[in-house]
């Protein structure tokens, strides 16, 4: 069984230090599935397809079939739940309420708690092979956190200089490596391990209202908990969430995604787009790939409430 965990770990000060050990590979494949883009393609509306895509890509990276990779994606509108969320007494009813409003729901396999997904939220994943020796996931979390701050700094350096890494109390899906500006969280980081590879993943709230997204998750928990006492779930305060655009940073998913590409390149890493990788090596993986569709089906069956 794959080891699933969410180990958000800060250095205690909230600073994002330059860690010489936290380097990127010299060459990485770039897969992009931003909402509404041509690359999103078939299956983009299925909540579990992006997670299944990364699960499949991670296996291929571990097997040496694909190089280390960066995946940038968004979803047109949904809420991804953690496994514990799905076990709340009224979770099924709360999920139906969201679906009735046109908001897709699914239970994800990478741990953590409920997070909204929409076109203004950019998900960033680094998919890396396991090397011999002890893995330092704290280093990888610091690396991704620094990369996100650097991406924001491409267009808005003053905002990037204010990014803090520390848990934001009252936020949804809280963790020690929440990224915030002025006390309002715009990003959370998690990871998932497989036998021979792993990925470090972040959701980044870029455009739109952080408060509205926080209210969406707060209302889900209110309905899912059904007033029961002693349940373990985040007590969300919507005012603790902010979008980068509200916090003085980039206010466009496209601008932020461009910042990620530039921040990766600035670290000396060559990014090879998926189409170039296919022409070069014959490796191809898309949302409509039968292996990805099958993986989504498996995740749905395994983690459905």
| Domain segments of the chain as ranges | 4-300
Output the six-digit token pair for 251. 């206010």
Question: Are 53 and 33 within 8 A, CB to CB?
Answer: yes
Run of H or E including 225:
helix 210-225
Instruction: Please identify every residue annotated as catalytic.
Output: 173
> What is the overall mean pLDDT for the chain?
89
Beta bridge partners of 273: 30
Beta bridge partners of 270: 27
Is the per-residue pLDDT at 278 higher than 60? yes
Is the per-residue pLDDT at 82 higher than 60? yes
CA atoms 95, 96, 100, 104: torsion sign: positive
Name 211's Cβ contacts closer than 8 Å, sequence gap at least 6.
238, 239, 241, 242
Confidence of residue 4 (pLDDT cuts 50, 70, 90): very low
- pTM of the predicted model, to two decimals? 0.91
Dist CA 280 CA 298 (whole Å) = 31
Name 219's Cβ contacts closer than 8 Å, sequence gap at least 6.
none
Dist CA 181 CA 187 (whole Å) = 10
Dist CA 212 CA 26 (whole Å) = 40
Mean pLDDT of 73-92: 94
Is the per-residue pLDDT at 44 higher than 70? no
Dist CA 85 CA 59 (whole Å) = 27
Dist CA 284 CA 274 (whole Å) = 7
Run of H or E including 128:
strand 121-129
Percent of the chain surpassing pLDDT 90: 76
Give the chain's end-to-end CA distance (angstroms, integer): 19
**Segment among 17-21, 128-132, 149-153, 254-258 with least mean pLDDT:** 17-21
Strands 179-181, 184-193: pairing is antiparallel
Dist CA 63 CA 32 (whole Å) = 22
Give the E-state strand segments of the chain in sequence order.
4-5, 27-33, 69-73, 77-81, 104-107, 115-118, 121-129, 164-165, 179-181, 184-193, 197-205, 270-273
Q: Per CATH, the architecture of 4-300 is what?
A: 2-Layer Sandwich (3.30)
pLDDT digits (tens, 9 = 90+) for 248-266: 999 999 999 999 999 999 9
């Amino acid at each position: 069984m794959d080891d699933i965990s969410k180990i958000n770990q800060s250095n205690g000060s909230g600073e994002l230090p330059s860690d010489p050990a936290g380097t990127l590979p010299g060459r990485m494949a770039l897969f992009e599935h931003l909402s509404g883009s041509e690359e999103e393609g078939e299956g983009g509306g299925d909540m579990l397809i992006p997670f299944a895509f990364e699960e499949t890509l991670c296996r291929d990276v571990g097997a040496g079939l694909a190089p280390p990779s960066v995946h940038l994606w968004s979803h047109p509108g949904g809420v991804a739940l953690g496994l514990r969320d799905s076990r709340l007494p009224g979770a099924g009813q709360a999920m139906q309420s969201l679906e009735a409003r046109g908001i897709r729901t699914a239970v994800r396999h990478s741990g953590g708690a409920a997070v909204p997904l929409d076109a203004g939220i950019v998900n960033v994943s680094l998919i890396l092979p396991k090397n011999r020796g002890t893995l330092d996931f704290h280093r990888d979390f610091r690396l991704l956190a620094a990369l996100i701050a650097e991406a924001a700094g491409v267009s808005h350096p003053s905002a990037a200089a204010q990014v803090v890494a520390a848990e934001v109390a009252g936020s949804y899906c809280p963790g020690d490596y929440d990224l915030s500006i002025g006390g309002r969280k715009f990003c959370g980081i998690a990871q998932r391990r497989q036998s021979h590879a792993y990925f470090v993943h972040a959701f980044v709230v870029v455009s739109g209202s952080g408060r509205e997204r926080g209210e969406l998750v707060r209302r889900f928990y209110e309905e899912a908990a059904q007033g029961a006492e002693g349940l373990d779930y985040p007590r969300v305060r919507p005012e603790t969430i902010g979008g980068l655009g509200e916090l003085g940073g980039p206010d466009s998913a496209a601008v932020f995604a461009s910042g990620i590409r530039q921040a990766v390149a600035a670290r000396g890493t060559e990014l090879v787009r998926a189409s170039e990788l296919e022409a070069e090596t014959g490796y191809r993986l898309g949302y409509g790939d039968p292996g990805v569709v099958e993986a989504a089906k498996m995740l749905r069956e395994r983690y459905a409430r």
